[in-house]
Structure 1
Amino acid sequence: MAVNLSKGQKVDLTKTNPGLVKVKVGLGWDTNKYDGGSSFDLDATAFCLNGSGKVNSDSDFIYYNNKSNTNGAIQLSGDNQTGEGAGDDESLTIDLNQVPANIEKVAFCITIHDAASRNQNFGQVANAFVRILKDGTNEELIRYDLGEDFSIETAVVVAELYRHNGEWKFSAVGSGYRDGLAGLCRDFGVQV
């Protein structure tokens, strides 16, 4: 049975699931009905961060134009440009044993593509979630539903997977950004 988290909660991932090596991080969302003249394109991104909370290089930024980190331990499924349908809209698979030792944290984010020019924000997004599944069986281990706490934000740090005393933990973050992907890149040390 999956553990449902609220914003700010943390839970052990590998300690409570001995032998867990590969996980799938599924992210999903819906958009509210509106006629703004442009379709929504939300994107899942991941930032592989060192102990200072920054990427070691731009290749540690995983998104639709860079679908894996340097050694391939973290892989993005692809770019779902409509978000239609039930379940995960985009996902990442992670081989926990292969994540480089200099990566202490992986931040998972959802951004709205071209939000400023399309006049879109997370106030128009509903049912956003992140979940951790056991790769292979798709058994849901952890789930965090973001709720409707956002309005003018155009990007959200949804959750983090991080190392602690040799184990992997999961943190439900839910932190919004008004300046979208560019703001995330700036804060995480990606050159844009």
Structure 2
Amino acid sequence: MALSLSKGQKVDLTKTNPGLTKVLVGLGWDTNRYDGGGDFDLDASVFLLDSTGRCASERDFVFYNQLEGGNGSVVHTGDNRTGEGDGDDEQIKVDLANVPASVEKISFVITIHDANERSQNFGQVSNAFCRIVNEATNEEVIRYDLGEDFSIETAIIAGDLYRHNGEWKFSAVGAGYQGGLGRIATDFGLDV
């Protein structure tokens, strides 16, 4: 059974799951039907961060137009433009053993594509979650349900995988941003 986290909680990942080297990070959400009637396109993105909390280069930004980073250790499985159906809407595979040593943290982000143009925000999104699955056994080991804490935000940092004393940990971040993907990318040191 998966360990269920609340916002702000941190948990050992590899220390409490010996032998765990490959994980699948599943991100999911539902959109509320509202009067605007426009389609939503939510996207999962990943930032590979160094010890300063920044991307060393654009190669450390993994998203629907660049599906691989970290010398192939982080792979986005592809864009889901509708988010319909149950389960994960988008997935990222992480080979923890092969993440470059310069990468201290892997940050998982959910954004609304063209949110400002479509007058959309996370107040119109429900059931958002981030989960960690042992890729070898397909067992869910960690789940973080983001709750309904967001209203005007157009981007969310869902969670972080990070190194601590040679082990990988997971932090349930749940931080909302206005300004979408561009704002987060800029904060992580990229020019957009």
| 1:169–1:79 CA distance, 2 compared to 1 (3 A) | same
Query: 1:70 and 1:131 mapped to 2: Cα distance?
Result: 21
Contact 2:62–2:68 (CA under 8 A) maintained in structure 1 = yes
Where structure 1 has 5 or more consecutive residues not aligned to the other structure, the ranges are none
Contact 2:70–2:99 (CA under 8 A) maintained in structure 1 = no
Query: 2:150 and 2:120 mapped to 1: Cα distance?
Result: 12
The percent identity for this pair of structures is 65
Query: 1:60 and 1:31 mapped to 2: Cα distance?
Result: 29
For residue 106 of structure 2, what is the aligned residue in structure 1? Answer: 106
Amino acid at match of 1:31: T
User: Please, what is the CA RMSD of the aligned residues?
Assistant: 0.7
- Residue 126, structure 1, aligned to residue 126, structure 2: yes
Could you list the runs of 4 or more consecutive aligned residues of structure 1 that deviate by over 4 angstroms after TM superposition? none
Amino acid at match of 1:66: Q
Deviation at 1:33, TM superposition (A): 1.0
Query: 1:138 and 1:44 mapped to 2: Cα distance?
Result: 20
Contact 2:111–2:155 (CA under 8 A) maintained in structure 1 = yes
TM-score (normalised: structure 1):
0.99
Partner SS for 1:184: helix
How many correspondences in the alignment?
A: 192
Matches within 5 A, 1:49-64: 49-64=49-64
Deviation at 1:37, TM superposition (A): 3.9
Amino acid at match of 1:27: L
- Residue 85, structure 1, aligned to residue 85, structure 2: yes
For residue 9 of structure 2, what is the aligned residue in structure 1? Answer: 9
Query: 1:110 and 1:41 mapped to 2: Cα distance?
Result: 10
TM-score (normalised: structure 2):
0.99
Deviation at 1:70, TM superposition (A): 4.2
For residue 167 of structure 1, what is the aligned residue in structure 2? Answer: 167
Query: 2:25 and 2:36 mapped to 1: Cα distance?
Result: 30
Amino acid at match of 2:30: D
Contact 2:48–2:70 (CA under 8 A) maintained in structure 1 = no
Partner SS for 1:97: helix
Where structure 2 has 5 or more consecutive residues not aligned to the other structure, the ranges are none
Amino acid at match of 1:108: F
Deviation at 1:35, TM superposition (A): 3.2
Deviation at 1:137, TM superposition (A): 2.3
Q: 1:93-151: CA deviations, max 9, x gaps?
A: 00001000000000000000000000000000000000000003220000000000000
